[in-house]
Amino acid sequence: VAEGLDRYVHLTSETKDGCPVRLSANIEMLEELSAVLRYGSEGIGLFRSEFDFFQGIRPPTEEAQLATYSRLLATMAPHPVTIRTLDVGGDKILARFPGNKAWLDRERNPALGLRSIRFSLYEREIFRCQVRALLRASVHGRLRVLLPLVSTLQELRQAKEMIHDSMNALAAEGIPFDQDLEIGVLIEVPSAVIMSDVLAMEVDFFAIGTNDLIQYSLAIDRGNQYVAHLYDPFHPAVLRMIRQTVDAGHARAIPVSLCGEMAGDPLCAPLLIGFELDELSMRPAVIPWIKRLLRHSHSGELHLLAQEVLHCADSGEVRACVTDFFQRFY
Ligand code: PEP
Ligand code: MG
């Protein structure tokens, strides 16, 4: 931990006036757990479970997944661990699976294709196996299951039905699991934002995935260097969508986190806290930086900044507001 920041590792993450904001970690491998603990993370806000699926030529077995998830949960307990179900396709191609069954690598427009929850609902055996491993691991800590790229209510309901079917199957087999585990949806396509008031009625939490939300709302390929200058987290459309999602979640009393790269960007974090996000999840090493920022901020000032940017016409104006804010308060 950088000098001067080490004292923040053990301090609570809250604003100057005592409003708590959970700062948690985005990781994809167990090897990162030591960093998670070192930087004082209060949980895992995003475990990208697909990493293990890229290692071999077939999906990891239920037992192998169980071992990974159990270790995650046990290490982080009593903090919550959010495990995202398989998020393949788009920029995350399962190229090594035998035959590849004609999906994924032959799609003309993979970002709009058979990815994430769509893949899981298509290759149901792979999903069922992962869900069983998640449920079995849930007795070791506090599990939150996160469903990626949901764009319709029907997808959410189908995924939840499969989870409940697996719960019934495990109960019949006499295998324990946590009945209270939470199920949430990753808000990362515009349709999910627009329907977030409806989705909020059917889940225990929201996580906002701005990496994809920016891509899909601004129609900018997140991996394309020629349009990278247009990939802009300060676009007011993106900010209004974040605000709308937080409001929809809170209207139903469910917590809302944000786990895109924006969460760990010091220029974005004050805004996000001003939008009343309950949790920001980021690369472990940036947690002390954001915590320092948080502890030097007053929630009232952050709320005013957040209100102000919602009236901006373009990202240039947003940037000017944020720069002015930093000059006044830090
Ligand atoms: C996101 O889309 O913002 C996100 C958190 O996930 P990923 O970058 O893995 O798609
Ligand atoms: Mg995503």
DSSP H or E segment with residue 163: helix 153-173
Ligand nearest to the CA of 207: 1
The amino acid that residue 319 corresponds to is R
Residue 136 in marked binding region:
no
188 lines ligand 1 (CB under 6 A): yes
Task: Say yes or no to pLDDT of 90 above 80.
Answer: no
- pTM, two decimals, is 0.96
Residue 84 in marked binding region:
yes
182 lines ligand 1 (CB under 6 A): no
State which residues have CB under 5 angstroms from ligand 2, the bound ion: 188, 209, 212
Residue 211 in marked binding region:
yes
Task: Say yes or no to pLDDT of 318 above 70.
Answer: yes
User: Strand 142-147 vs strand 182-187: parallel, antiparallel, or unpaired?
Assistant: parallel
Cα dihedral across residues 297, 144, 146, 161: positive or negative = negative
Percent above pLDDT 70 for the chain: 96
pLDDT at residue 172, as a whole number: 98
Q: How confident is the model at residue 56 (pLDDT cuts 50, 70, 90)?
A: confident
ipTM of the complex: 0.99
Reduced DSSP (H G I as helix, E B as strand, rest coil) percent helix, strand, coil of the chain, to 5: 55, 15, 35
Return the residue whose CA atom lies nearest to atom 4 of ligand 1.
209
Q: From the alpha carbon of 209, which atom of ligand 1 is closest?
A: 3
**Taking a C-beta distance cutoff of 8 angstroms, is the pair 42, 79 a contact?**
yes
Q: How confident is the model at residue 105 (pLDDT cuts 50, 70, 90)?
A: low
How far CA 159 is from CA of 30, 100, 119, 149, 164, in Å, comes to 26, 23, 11, 12, 9
Tell me which of 117, 211, 218, 238 to substitute to probe ligand 1's pocket, judged by most ligand atoms within 8 Å of the beta carbon.
211
Q: How confident is the model at residue 102 (pLDDT cuts 50, 70, 90)?
A: low
Q: How confident is the model at residue 98 (pLDDT cuts 50, 70, 90)?
A: low
**Taking a C-beta distance cutoff of 8 angstroms, is the pair 89, 116 a contact?**
yes
Task: Say yes or no to pLDDT of 330 above 80.
Answer: no
pLDDT at residue 180, as a whole number: 92
Residue 62 in marked binding region:
no
pLDDT at residue 103, as a whole number: 60
pLDDT at residue 94, as a whole number: 72
CA distance 304 to 250: 19
From the CB of residue 173, how many other CB atoms can be counted at a distance below 10 Å? 8
Q: At what angle do helices 299-309 and 315-329 cross, to 10 degrees?
A: 160
Q: Which residue has the higher pLDDT, 309 or 328?
A: 309
Segment 1-27 shows an average pLDDT of 92
211 lines ligand 1 (CB under 6 A): yes
Task: Say yes or no to pLDDT of 72 above 80.
Answer: yes
232 lines ligand 1 (CB under 6 A): no
pLDDT at residue 243, as a whole number: 98
Ligand nearest to the CA of 242: 1
pLDDT tens for each residue of 279-295: 999 999 999 999 999 99
pLDDT tens for each residue of 36-45: 999 999 999 9
Q: From the alpha carbon of 211, which atom of ligand 1 is closest?
A: 3
Q: From the alpha carbon of 210, which atom of ligand 1 is closest?
A: 3
**Taking a C-beta distance cutoff of 8 angstroms, is the pair 42, 22 a contact?**
yes
Q: At what angle do helices 315-329 and 236-251 cross, to 10 degrees?
A: 70
pLDDT at residue 40, as a whole number: 95
User: Strand 182-187 vs strand 205-208: parallel, antiparallel, or unpaired?
Assistant: parallel
Query: How far is ligand 2, taken at its centre, from the CA of residue 111, in Å?
Result: 10
282 lines ligand 1 (CB under 6 A): no
261 lines ligand 1 (CB under 6 A): no
pLDDT at residue 247, as a whole number: 98
Query: How far is ligand 2, taken at its centre, from the CA of residue 211, in Å?
Result: 6
Q: Which residue has the higher pLDDT, 18 or 107?
A: 18
Query: How far is ligand 1, taken at its centre, from the CA of residue 196, in Å?
Result: 18
Task: Say yes or no to pLDDT of 271 above 80.
Answer: yes
Q: How confident is the model at residue 99 (pLDDT cuts 50, 70, 90)?
A: low
Task: Say yes or no to pLDDT of 187 above 60.
Answer: yes
The number of helix segments (H) and strand segments (E) in the chain equals 14, 8
pLDDT at residue 1, as a whole number: 76
- With a CB cutoff of 8 Å and minimum separation 6, the contacts of 212 are 90, 149, 188, 189, 222, 260
pLDDT tens for each residue of 126-183: 999 999 999 999 999 999 999 999 999 999 999 999 999 999 999 999 999 999 999 9
209 lines ligand 1 (CB under 6 A): yes
- Residues with catalytic roles: 259
Percent above pLDDT 90 for the chain: 87
Q: How confident is the model at residue 29 (pLDDT cuts 50, 70, 90)?
A: very high
Residue 188 in marked binding region:
yes
